[in-house]
Chain A
Amino acid sequence: MRLNFTVNGRAETVDDVWEGESLLYVLRERAGLPGSKNACEQGECGSCTVYLDGVPVCACLVAAGQAEGREVRTVEGLADGDRLDPIQQAFVDAGAVQCGFCTPGLLVQAHDLIERVPRPSDPEIREALAGNLCRCTGYEKILDAVRLAAERKAGAR
């Protein structure tokens, strides 16, 4: 089937989409957006997190056809040209990235958190990231990065 949707502000049409395919597969294999990662395909790891109509979801659990006419924003759509989003810069600065596989999903999920809750408490950060697994960092630096991004964003407001 043909799928029309908007991704990172750009209208996209992809053909020959299998009806049982996930949005994650479409993004990675058909739309040239391999930022969102595929690690579990069962909603457990969060590495495929994208915004669907402004709401963070696991792209691996969205049927491609459900994205018809909808707006998707992936990790590739966070930065403003060459300028990283504050959450991305904070991950770099805090050393919250090791192998990087979990990072795209964490960035989208953390981005959503500080958009909704500008000054999140530690329990709020932990709760928001409970569905994003990282096998490298031990999470401490990730928490640092989210705090840092929240501070910088709040400071800039």
Chain B
Amino acid sequence: MAFLRPTTWPEALAAKAELPGAVPIQGGTDVMVEINFDVRRPEALLDLTRVAELARWSETGGRLRVGAGVPYSRVIGELGDRLPGLAQASRTVGSPQIRNRGTVGGNLGAASPAGDSHPPLLAGGAVIEVESAARGVRMIPAEEFYLGVKRSALEPDELIRAFHAEPATGPQYFSKVGTRNAMVIAVCSFALALHPAERRVGTGIGSAAPTPLRARAAEEFLAAELDWAAGLAPAGLAPGVLARFGELVSEAAAPIDDVRGTAGYRRHALAVMARRTLTWAWNDYRKAREQCA
């Protein structure tokens, strides 16, 4: 096995082009488990932790660009105000030690349907920046990134460089069902983002289909039903709206029975999480409006 240590992004891309079988490693919280248990014996490990720019984030022209190597602990500490949905999801990942190492880039690379960053990335309309030496940069909307169970749109010669997202302009929430509070892989999860400027709603469902996915019908239903009324204190949510939103989210999923839960339980839990996160988000939105009015 070779151990490759590029220190710049062009070097990393060149190494990946030369040896597409090289497995990128950042926090190692997925990769090392596989190596320790002999599930994987790659011809090479491509260590990206020396490429300093991957661990940086920046904000320009009202858009955030977050390097693939920024660990969860820093998403929580440094981006909690701008990306509250992703920060909430990050707080539920593993344990403090895992959050100190694990990265959103690694979560994307693994593309597990249970990965906790995916629902908030979907709800927030994030775009993934990937690059190869041969074909340059591709900007892939999160929604088009996930192709199947642990399969993504990433080509063998490509690396994930960053994700781009707008800082939150409205409330964002993440909710996850698991057997305990820490160190738990999601039975299912849900993220909601309100985008008041565009009167749009974003959603993301985790661990309830072969890929993380949006609940489009639920988003459209809610965007039309909500009383966004600028300048006025909006009304509360009608119970019918909450219930229907929950149903539409639950219908968008394609869950299976597995060791962590049954399909029926997942559908039920999704509807509950959808109603809950909507209630929280709408209360925040109304409060913010009342303060402006």
Q: Could you tell me which A residues sit within 8 Å of B by CB distance?
A: 1, 18-20, 22, 41-44, 46, 49, 55-58, 60-63, 65-66, 68, 109, 127-128, 130-132
Contacts and interface: CB of A to CB of B under 8 A. Distances in A.
8 contacts: A18-B1, A20-B35, A43-B29, A46-B97, A57-B97, A61-B101, A63-B47, A130-B182
B97 A1 contact: no
A61 B33 contact: yes
Given A19-B1, A42-B33, A63 B96 contact: no
Interface of B: 1-3, 5, 25, 27-29, 31-33, 35-37, 41, 44-45, 47, 49, 73, 94-98, 100-101, 181-183
A66 B47 contact: yes
Given A1-B3, A65-B3, A66-B28, A58 B36 contact: no
A25 B162 CA distance: 32
Contact of B100 (A18, A41, A57, A68): A57
Given A62-B32, A63-B45, A131 B3 contact: no
A20 B39 CA distance: 12
A49 to B, nearest CB: 6
Contact of B101 (A18, A58, A127): A58
Contacts of B98: 43, 58, 61, 131
A131 B32 contact: no
Contacts, number: 90
A1 B41 CA distance: 17
B88 to A, nearest CB: 14
B1 A41 contact: no
A19 B46 CA distance: 11
A43 B1 contact: no
B5 A68 contact: yes
A131 B97 contact: yes
Contacts of A44: 183
A76 B226 CA distance: 59
Nearest to A48: B97
Given A42-B36, A44-B183, A131-B94, 19 more contacts: A22-B32, A22-B35, A41-B33, A42-B33, A43-B98, A56-B97, A58-B101, A60-B32, A62-B28, A62-B32, A62-B101, A63-B28, A63-B32, A63-B35, A63-B45, A128-B96, A131-B97, A131-B98, A132-B95
Contacts of A18: 1
Contact of A131 (B2, B41, B73, B182): B182
Contacts of A109: 96-97
B125 to A, nearest CB: 30
Given A63-B3, A68-B5, A43 B33 contact: yes
A14 to B, nearest CB: 14
